[in-house]
Amino acid sequence: MDMPIGFRMAGVSCAIKASGKKDVTLIVADEEAVSAGVYTQNKVVAAPVVLCRARTPGDSARAVIINSGNANACTGTQGERDAARMCQVTAEHVGISPDQCLLMSTGIIGVPLPMSKVEEGIHLAYQQLGNSEQHFLDAADGILTTDKSRKIASCEFNLGDRSIRIAAMAKGAGMIGPNMATMLCQILTDAPLTPEDAQAILARVANRSFNNISVEGHTSTNDTMLLLSSCKAGGPTLTGAQIDAFESELATLCIDLAKQIPTDGEGASHLIEIQVTGAASESDARAISETIASSNLVKTAIYGSDPNWGRIVSAAGYAKCTLDTNHIGLSINGIELFRQGQPIEFCEQTASRSIAENPTTVIEIVVGSGPGSCTHWTSDLTVEYVRFNSEYTT
């Protein structure tokens, strides 16, 4: 992996999770770092989100403490005190001010944090801090909940005579809905950025990646996407075309990470990629893609390898957007099923086999001749998803 300069990290277990898996992650910047954040659009938000919103963007962050297994959401004033205490304990270990700490939590909603375990976890994580690839992987494991595997991405690229590195970890598998999903994402980079540029870049990138994924459309209380930059790559702050180049690299990395979430959707057997083109505007294309993605009939059709184009076309039609019904066209995995508002002959067995044999199903739908386009990623709806979520807290 390409590890950015200026960070140490660790992931440990402190028994928040009954499984004994890693459940506390600590990331420490060697010096004050630029920070930016994008958060859930749910009006019910967890204490860590309230805390981080007040501290980003900024230029003095030193630590991020993350726990999994407990969301510290809907926990009232006790949750606020516990969030502040996590920052206080972290600050005491690192030797910084509590307001230089950022915080994320994920897991069960409505249950107070087991603070004695959390504090022990912070202590253990501080003792194990390091900057190797294995330290990063341990940290990535510490933020997971129902995920089947860790979600990571990294890259290194040149801007002039400077090498820039980005490494990121994410979590999420269920309760995933646009703006944002039930997800956490921590991005580390050594690119020299101002807080204002970092925040603007992060917001735009989120809109191209994590705001374009869903599993069942349920937006959570804890969604947080943080960027920390050590600015250790050297040279002056990025400007102009350099910012554009950095944003392009970050967007590619985040789209990779974002797609890993519905791919790992609880019980999912297919990643569904919905490409909408020809819409009257980008916002219309986004709305149409999200409507198709949230249709249980579409999701179950893909689970059953059924090329039922009628479900997809009708979902586009109730998205309350401008459509040219005489211009609608639809393909699944490159097999054309519907053209110029009319069904066309195709081999249903071939189309069904294409869905069954590929882990990714690509739905391409043209809804007119406008300039608007959007790509959305979701998962199919399986029997296993229903079983898993019906038994989640019991």
What is the radius of gyration, based on Cα positions, of the chain? 22
301-324: per-residue pLDDT in tens?
Answer: 999 999 999 999 999 999 989 888
> Is 104 within 8 Å of 143 (Cβ atoms)?
yes
List, in sequence order, every residue forming a beta bridge with 177; answer none if it has no partner.
none
User: How far is it, in rounded angstroms, from Cα 59 to Cα 284?
Assistant: 37
Residue 389: its pLDDT value, please? 66
Q: How far from the centroid of its chain's Cα atoms is residue 100's Cα?
A: 24
User: How far is it, in rounded angstroms, from Cα 332 to Cα 274?
Assistant: 9
Residue 177: its pLDDT value, please? 54
pLDDT over 90 (residue 350): yes
pLDDT over 50 (residue 225): yes
Residue 180: its pLDDT value, please? 52
Q: What is the reported pTM? A: 0.87
- Non-local CB neighbours of 314 within 8 Å, separated by 6+ positions: none
Mean pLDDT of the chain: 92
**Which residue in 40, 75, 182, 361 is the catalytic one?**
182
pLDDT over 80 (residue 154): yes
157-213: per-residue pLDDT in tens?
Answer: 999 899 999 999 998 765 555 555 457 899 999 999 999 999 999 999 998 998 888
Active site residue 291: no
255-298: per-residue pLDDT in tens?
Answer: 999 888 887 766 788 999 999 999 999 999 999 999 999 899 99
pLDDT over 80 (residue 364): yes
pLDDT over 60 (residue 68): yes
Instruction: Tell me how far CA of residue 329 lies from CA of 15, 83, 209, 346, 364, in angstroms.
Output: 53, 51, 25, 14, 8
Strand, coil or helix: what is 178? Answer: coil
Residue 181: its pLDDT value, please? 47
User: How far is it, in rounded angstroms, from Cα 388 to Cα 259?
Assistant: 21
Q: Which domains does the chain have, with CATH numbers?
A: 7-263 (3.60.70.12), 271-390 (3.10.20.340)
Residue 179: its pLDDT value, please? 57
Residue 132: its pLDDT value, please? 96
Residue 347: its pLDDT value, please? 96
- Non-local CB neighbours of 95 within 8 Å, separated by 6+ positions: none
| For the chain, counts of helices (H) and of strands (E) | 11, 14
- Non-local CB neighbours of 215 within 8 Å, separated by 6+ positions: 173, 174, 175, 176, 177, 181, 261, 262, 265, 266, 268, 378, 379, 385
> Is 34 within 8 Å of 16 (Cβ atoms)?
no
